Amino acid sequence: MYPNDRVATFVTENFVPVKIHIKEQPEVFRRFGAQWTPTLMVLDPDGVERHRFEGFLPPTDFLAQLELGLAKAAFARERWREAEDRYRRIAREFPDTDAAPEALYWAGVSRYKASGDAAALADTARAFRTRYSGTSWAKRASVWGR
């Protein structure tokens, strides 16, 4: 059940949504390696898994994870500018979610991939000094700031 209107609208506008129930389709659980419920999985248009998350999340965090899945799908297809836009939107619109620091990291990588300019990575390292500085993503980005 997805009672939140914002979530329902976002799912409808951005995905082909499919529900798989463990009792009705256990073989599909096995096929995709889903071992817990709920497991939400984003598959790109070629059917490749690009993101998954398990367990309940409130609407804001849930939306952030869906956006993260779309951003990862764009990145995997080397659509760097689309990926960067999506990642930056996550950091901007969902700043208090777990997805935000990860999105900030990959936004910098996406910009670097698009431009070839290492300044994009240094800028990201600098951004982490003031936001999300205690996160593992800040640690990963720290090497770019030396």
Partner 1 sequence: MPINWMKDVDAALAEAKRTGRAVLADFNAAPM
- At its nearest, how many Å lie between partner 1 and the CB of residue 125? 30
Question: How far, rounded to the nearest angstrom, does the alpha carbon of residue 83 sit from its chain's CA centroid?
Answer: 10
Contacting partner 1 (CB under 8 A), which of 18, 130, 134, 146?
A: 18
Contact flag: residue 89 with partner 1 (CB under 8 A): no
Region 94-133 residues binding partner 1, contact defined as CB under 8 A: none
- Length of the chain (residues): 146
Please state the closest distance from residue 144 (CB atom) to partner 1, in A.
29
Task: Determine the distance from the C-alpha atom of residue 46 to the mean position of all C-alpha atoms in its chain, rounded to a whole number.
Answer: 18
Per-residue string for binding with partner 1, 42-71, x by CB under 8 A? Answer: xxxxxx--x---------------x--xx-
Query: What whole-number distance in Å separates Cα of residue 85 and Cα of residue 66?
Result: 14
Residue-by-residue DSSP string for 67-82: HHHHHHHHHHTT-HHH
Question: What is the pairing mode between strands 39-43 and 49-54?
Answer: antiparallel
Instruction: Rank residues 61 and 140 by Cβ distance to partner 1 and give the closer one.
Output: 61
Per DSSP, the three-state class of 109 is helix
Residues contributing to the site for partner 1 (CB under 8 A): 1-2, 5, 8-9, 11-12, 14-25, 28-29, 31-32, 34, 37-47, 50, 66, 69-70, 73
